[in-house]
Amino acid sequence: MRAMIKVYCRGHQHVADGICPECDQLFAYAAQRLERCRFGARKPTCANCPTHCYKRDRLEQVKVVMRYSGPRILLKHPLLSLHHWLDGFRPVPARKP
């Protein structure tokens, strides 16, 4: 997620290097929500997940970031892209106790 937010932030010229405070807050929120995910480490990709982790306003922000960063991340981080694509084939796990 951090790599996608970084691509988005740089592409929108928020800062020359790194991540602007607004994008950093979005990453902190996303990291917190992913950490609390009921599926734990076996979390499926967001597109395949039956439960959305984000509040509606943050979900919209994440969608904007993913729409922009998705195609661009293929060139900047091809291994992350491949890993994410392969994760999309993972079945949705049973809820952790």
Helix (H, G, I), strand (E, B) or coil at 73: helix
pLDDT of residue 65: 92
pLDDT of residue 68: 93
pLDDT of residue 95: 60
Whether residue 46 is predicted with pLDDT greater than 80 in this model: the reply is no
Whether residue 96 is predicted with pLDDT greater than 80 in this model: the reply is no
Can you say whether the dihedral through the CA atoms of 54, 87, 3, 9 is positive or negative? negative
Task: pLDDT band for 25, please (50, 70, 90 cuts).
Answer: very high
Q: Structural domain boundaries of the chain?
A: 2-87
Cβ atoms within 10 Å, residue 73? 19
